[in-house]
Amino acid sequence: MSVETFGPEYVRPARKECEHCECCTEALCARGATTILECLGCTAAPETRATVAGCPCSSEETPGTAAWRAGRLRVTQLALDEERRLPDDQVEVLRLVADLGDPVESQEQVFALAARRFVGMVGSHPELTELGAVYLRALEEERVESAASVVAVDSTTRTAEVMVYAIGPELVTVLLDQLLVATELTAEELVGRPLAVMTNLPGSVEDVVLTGIRLLPPPVVAEKGTGRVDDALSPVPASEAPTAVLPVVEVLGGIPAAVIPVAVVPPAGDGQALTETAAVMPLAEAPQAAIGEEGGR
């Protein structure tokens, strides 16, 4: 516990310095890493702002910070927007830089890319930045629609852990504010809610960038073996159903082990894989080959 000294002059206890930088206190870096404003945006005193500007603990270039996640989302959305994406001549120069070429005759494009932080200058030579690499990948990589659900939220770090079923069991960390804006729910209401998202399919979960996030209607519940939807609940119209077809999941203690929509309820006498109930959401023109195969229920 800190001790405050009182006497003729008040002496403020020294604040603990950050172990990872030379410009901030530990508390400031903890706040800065959780906001896109970075440490600079969390500092009011004019004499201090110049000192903390560009702090690596909250930088857009430091993996895991809010600014880093927001930067990757911003760049991906730019690449996906056909009206706003980079002009062809800038993309051509960016690809040249990525291939370690020297665009000596394209200085105007290089300056434009540097302004977006897609390239950085090492001496007089441009080098591809991480944001530039994210942009090029977003132009080319496949993106698919997937069901997803929020497993946990952390209001301190302003992040959420999301299960994206097209990715696999490893959770994807997403900015909490991105989910709040997309769904118009509170952080508490998000947990367990089924979502539809657009996702890339990278080799590492750290490279996953989710876009097109939207709420799915809550699952309709049917009793085991009856194949009938409860009268109090209405099936989802086919026009609102997700495009992905997912298997029925086992239910543990009456609660779905994973809150995901599924295509069908097994009819009477064919529900041995379930324990109590199953979450049901009709899918538009669901291919039957995806349902009922071995391990599919």
**Distance in angstroms (rounded) separating the CA atoms of residues 40 and 53:** 5
Mean pLDDT of 165-175: 93
**Distance in angstroms (rounded) separating the CA atoms of residues 67 and 57:** 10
List the one residue out of 251, 69, 81, 291 whose CA is nearest residue 160.
69
Indicate the pLDDT class of residue 223, thresholds 50, 70 and 90. low
Q: Specify the amino acid at residue 4.
A: E
Look at domain 144-215 and name its CATH class: mainly beta
**Domain parsing of the chain, residue ranges:** 21-59, 66-140, 144-215, 217-297
Mean pLDDT of 106-130: 91
Spell out a b/e string for 128-154, using b for 16 or more CB atoms within 10 Å of the CB, else e.
bbbbbebbbbbbeeebeebbbbbbebe
The rounded mean pLDDT for the chain is 76
What local confidence, expressed as pLDDT, does residue 15 receive?
A: 73
Indicate the pLDDT class of residue 105, thresholds 50, 70 and 90. confident
